[in-house]
Amino acid sequence: MLRAQWLGDGHVQVPADTIPAGLWDDLAAEATKLEHDAIPRERTVPGLQTLRDGSITSPQRCHVHPGGEALKTLVRHPALMEVACEATGSTRMVAIRWGYKWYRPGDHMQVHRDEGKCTITYSAGLVGDLGTMGWLPNLRWLPSREIADRFSGEEFPHDDGTFPVLHRVMTGFDGVRVPHWRPPYEQDLGVMVTCCFASRA
């Protein structure tokens, strides 16, 4: 079921009640506490660059932080691993990166593909309304070079599918293959948690 959904749609959800409410509270509190240490991430070089691992980098602006104990607890939660394995058909996975992201008005991330090692990328909203991410599932299998050529002159495409980033629900997606982006953020503050797992078998 999860496997079919992954292959068809490129995304799956960790059932909403699996992660305890207390852990979500801890994550929101941890993100708030770490906000003043968040690191600006700003890439202004225009256009899309393809890297050798198949990923695509593009202009972006936000703040990030690798988090603390609450985030480590989330990443170690067995549900994330189980959903990731069942969806992707892997038998063993390891979390390879995780963090909080802060979006303020105008912050954005243009069309990109995630780091090649990320078999599945998870995200969830913690604070504010994260709305939707732009999502191009029909271009999942298009070579990165073609994606870069096609979108270099178009900062935020129009003909997208949208992908909701839900409050306190982890959604896992094929961010390595499905090109995706975040249009300029319009509200005061959105805080997101994200992590990615790599297949080991």
Ligand X SMILES: O=C(O)CCC(=O)C(=O)O
Residues that bind Fe ion (CB under 5 A): 114, 175
Q: Per-residue DSSP letters for 105-144?
A: TT-EEEEEB--TT-SEEEEEEEES---EEEE-GGGTTS-H
Q: Which two tokens stand for residue 35?
A: 């906000």
Site of interaction with ligand X (CB under 6 A): 109, 114, 123, 133, 165, 175, 180, 182, 192, 194
Residues 6+ apart with CB under 8 A from 170: 13, 14, 19, 80, 83, 122, 123, 124
The site partner of 165 among Fe ion, ligand X, none (C-beta below 5 to 8 Å per kind) is ligand X
- In the complex, minimum distance from the CB of residue 133 to ligand X, in angstroms, rounded to a whole number: 4
Token representation of residue 27 = 């994550």
55 binds, among ligand X, Fe ion, none (CB under 5 to 8 A by kind): none
Q: Based on CB atoms, which residue is closest to Fe ion, 10 or 175? A: 175
Q: How far is CA 115 from CA 31, 106, 120, in A?
A: 24, 24, 10
Cβ distance to ligand X smaller for residue 14 or 192: 192
Alpha helices (H) in 38-194, listed in sequence order: 69-75, 78-88, 144-151
| Pick 83 or 99: Cβ nearer ligand X | 99
User: How large is the greatest C-alpha to C-alpha distance in the chain, in angstroms?
Assistant: 45
We find the least distance from the C-beta atom of residue 45 to ligand X, in angstroms, to be 17
Nearer to ligand X, 144 or 194 (CB): 194
The CB-of-79 to ligand X minimum distance in angstroms stands at 20
Closest residue (Cβ) to ligand X? 182
Nearer to ligand X, 24 or 173 (CB): 173
Q: In the chain, what is the straight-line distance between the N-terminal and C-terminal CA atoms, in Å?
A: 20
In the complex, minimum distance from the CB of residue 114 to ligand X, in angstroms, rounded to a whole number? 5
Cβ 80 vs Cβ 130: under 8 Å:
no
Could you tell me if 112 and 189 are in contact, meaning their C-beta atoms sit under 8 angstroms apart?
no
Query: Pick from ligand X, Fe ion, none: which does 137 bind, CB < 5 to 8 A by kind?
Result: none
Least distance to ligand X, CB of residue 200, Å: 21
